[in-house]
Chain A
Amino acid sequence: MLEHDRISLIRFTEEFETVYIRYSDKIYRYLYFQTKDPYLSEDITAEVFLKAWKKWETFKKDYIQALLFKIARNTLVDHWRKNNKKKESSLETKIEEGAEPFYDEDFIGKMQSDENVKDVNNALQLLPKNLKEVAILRFIEDMSAKEAGEILNISEGNVRVLQYRALIKLKEIFKK
């Protein structure tokens, strides 16, 4: 390996580690409210970052958050598509396949027993898909309307319309 390549690889690895530490929770939470499954969310989060690493060199680092969410969305769509064809692989199957899972049961337990998480999760499941995604990106992950629009492939104006509708709906749900 040339010295130049080696230095680049060290730099990429450091960048990747920083980005993972910073954004993996956001991706995890996005996936958690989409799937309601903490284990599956962890698996897909790992897949998202492994996919990102493979294309790291070509990534525009200014748009890293949007790119990671786009990968997460696409990976989730692929997952649903595959699941329609075959049964979801269980945790046991994954262990048998040699893909050793790593989860933090304490964290999962705390998150699942949190009343606020339960309320928000239940409420989000009652929203249409587009409103749910806008609500997660805008109000849980604090993204700008522009960034959320980039991820969802809609205009900034559309995001503003959807976010208003989402908030009104959520307010009604929480009132019940």
Chain B
Amino acid sequence: MINEELKKLFEELKSEGASRKEMEELIPVLNKLSAIKKHERPYLLKRKFLEEKTPEIKKSLFFPKWFFAPAIAFSLFLFVGVISASYASQKSLPGDLLYPVKRLTEDARILVDPNFKNEKIVRRSEEIKKLTEEKEEKPKFINKAIDDFRKESEDSRNHDAKKVQESLKNLEDAKQNVLGEEKKQIERVIEKTENSQDNRELESQDSNRNEDEKNK
């Protein structure tokens, strides 16, 4: 108890009839009581209460209940949208709105499965076939599809022979559906692909012969 407070207390006690001697005798009692104040709970204990016992205060302050709702809804919407678009795009043809999505998913799939490269030339040939089967004439898109096939099959020596044969069959079917310049283009592509395949076979035979000679 500080002097000012003690003075005030003594005035109060005096007014209640306490003598000076009596008041002096009370000082040790007051000191004993006042010494209790030194016992304070550790600061960390108090912080722990504020952090753990009042989580609803913190939660309501920093994370309102609806805080993540728009983000979750948007992510869900985006996820469903991407899955649906990529699924729906698999049957699209050049010129369709979702066709670029189909090509993107193919590129992504090749990163995971390099053998899917063989499937790509079959898909391009099927697209040419389907475009030529459609009643509505789409010469621009047929030309684009032929170009795409040409690019994909340029490296046909590295493709699976069965898949190349399947593609050639599709192209032969497509050839029957068109006339004029488109037919000529398809014929040229077939010829080029076949030559490429023949070269591959010849190279393979040469390589086998060389190995046999080496073994001898």
List residues of A whose CB falls within 8 A of some B CB. 1, 6, 9-10, 13, 16-17, 20-21, 24-25, 28-29, 42, 46, 49-50, 53, 100, 102-104, 106-107, 110-111, 114, 116-117, 119-120, 135, 139-142, 145, 160-161, 163-164, 167-168, 170-171, 174
Contact = CB atoms under 8 A, between A and B. Distances in A.
Interface string B147-163: 00000000000000000
Nearest to A110: B39
Given A139-B30, A160-B16, A1 B64 contact: yes
A29 B38 CA distance: 11
B61 interface: yes
Interface string B31-45: 011111101111111
B207 interface: no
Interface stretch (B47-55, B83-91, B122-130, B137-145): B47-55
Contacts of A110: 39
A102 B54 contact: no
Contacts, number: 105
Nearest to A145: B12
Contacts of A116: 32, 35-36
A167 B57 contact: no
A62 B182 CA distance: 92
Given A145-B12, A164-B13, A171-B25, A53 B36 contact: no
10 contacts: A10-B61, A16-B54, A16-B57, A21-B43, A50-B53, A53-B54, A102-B45, A102-B48, A140-B34, A142-B34
B3 interface: no
A53 B15 contact: no
B134 interface: no
B57 to A, nearest CB: 6
B64 A171 contact: no
B78 interface: no
Given A20-B49, A161-B16, A117 B30 contact: no
B29 A171 contact: yes
B92 to A, nearest CB: 46
B215 interface: no
Name, among A6, A29, A171, the residue most crowded by chain B CB atoms within 10 Å (CB to CB).
A171
Nearest to A163: B12
A13 B29 contact: no
Contacts of B41: 24-25, 28, 42, 104, 107
A111 B13 contact: no
B46 interface: yes
Nearest to B65: A1
A28 B36 CA distance: 12
